[in-house]
Amino acid sequence: MKKLFTVGQVCKCCGISRSTILRMEDRGLLSPARVDENTGYRYYDIYNITKILHIQMFLSMGLTYDDAYSYYASSGKSPELLTALESRLALLTRAYEEMKLRMDDKQHLQMEIITLPENVCYQKEFKGASQDDKYRDMYNLFGEAVEKGYRPLISERLFVINNNDLSAKKGENTYICCVPLEPSCADEHTVFYPSCTAFSMLCYGNYQAISKAHAEFDEKIRSLGLKPTGHTRGIGIVSGYTGKEFSQEKYVSRLVVPIEDLDKGKIDRLSRSGLLISSTLQSSQS
């Protein structure tokens, strides 16, 4: 006879509440192995318990009940879930890269070919002569976005697009400060940036370090024979939402420039050369 377990036993085994089990049932994720017709008591088997643990694993990875349902409904071959997992993996990779950079205390971690996600941004153009100017303008723009009721996209960093405006005064640069938003915030005051291939370099240190890194970044683009299709972006201004907890000496920023798409053969050759690695920088919009 198949071994069955009570709700209380399952709750204790899996570390969850009865309401969580019922929630899984309501979402079509779980069916009791047996329901007593007289008492209405539910009983669960080993397969139920292992499935609950599997669903908990999905939730611990930042996925949703809907993602789990998609997984089981497709026999584990859900394109939507694969995309969600790729997004989570990209976020974890970025967090790992930044923490390792701080631990190693090195200026540059790596250069790589990435895929920038599409973004809806609240943005404005400014003029200034220093990184401090960009910091101030981005700080103010972020506050303006909050006042207007926009929802910043938690998976993406604030970024600055450096415009090479020849009409600017000597020593003064023009740049666009951008605040990525939740897609639902798109309106007539926001700008859409499509997904694109880009060349990237991580930078460690205060914003003066970013200025020094630009020269090396530009030289690497030329030496690799990459063809830019847009202006350089500085991602992570205002320390990626960390507030005042990190000193400026511990900031990690990313320089990226959109480039023409590369065929897989060229990316593989560059990767094998040790000059860069290929990765995906995706946003999570679930």
2-50 pLDDT, tens digit each: 799 999 999 999 999 999 999 999 999 999 999 999 999 999 999 999 9
Helices (H), 27-60: 46-60
* Residue 246, pLDDT score: 66
Q: Residue 107: left (phi > 0), alpha (psi -120 to 50), or beta?
A: alpha
Q: Is 234 exposed, middle or buried (0-12, 13-18, 19+ CB in 10 A)?
A: buried
pLDDT at 200 over 70: yes
- Which distant-in-sequence residues (6+ apart) come within 8 Å of 286 by Cβ? 63, 64, 67, 84, 87
Structure confidence at residue 281 (pLDDT): 41
Residue 264 identity (one-letter amino acid): K
Summarize pLDDT for 139-196 with one digit per residue, the tens: 899 999 999 999 998 778 889 998 865 445 566 789 999 999 999 999 999 999 999 9
Model confidence at 207, pLDDT cuts 50, 70, 90, reads: low
Q: Quick check: 108 pLDDT over 80?
A: no
Task: Examine the pLDDT at 138 and tell me if it is beyond 60.
Answer: yes
**Cβ contacts of 281 within 8 Å, gap of 6 or more:** 90, 94, 114, 115, 116, 117, 198, 200
Tell me the pLDDT tens digit for each residue of 211-269.
Answer: 677 788 888 888 888 899 999 998 875 554 555 666 667 777 788 999 998 777 776 77
The predicted model scores a pTM of 0.70
DSSP state at residue 259: B
pLDDT given for residue 74 in this prediction = 92
Res 130: pLDDT = 81
pLDDT at 122: 96
All structural domains of the chain, each given as residue ranges with its CATH number in brackets, are 5-75 (1.10.1660.10), 86-278 (3.20.80.10)
State the pLDDT confidence band at 284, using cuts at 50, 70 and 90.
very low
- Please state which of the ranges 104-108, 193-197, 199-203 shows the lowest mean pLDDT: 104-108
Structure tokens at 259: 């480039």
pLDDT at 107: 60
Pick from 286, 282, 230: nearest CA to 92: 282
Range from 23-32, 113-122, 206-215 carrying the lowest mean pLDDT? 206-215
Q: Do the bridges between strand 119-128 and strand 277-278 make them parallel or antiparallel, or are there none, so unpaired?
A: unpaired
The string of pLDDT tens digits covering residues 52-97 is: 999 999 998 888 999 999 999 999 998 888 888 887 887 788 778 7
Amino acid letter, residue 148? K
Mean pLDDT confidence for 118-136? 89
- What's the pLDDT band for 110 if we cut at 50, 70, 90? confident
Query: Which tops the pLDDT comparison, 33 or 101?
Result: 33
User: 272 in helix, strand or coil?
Assistant: helix
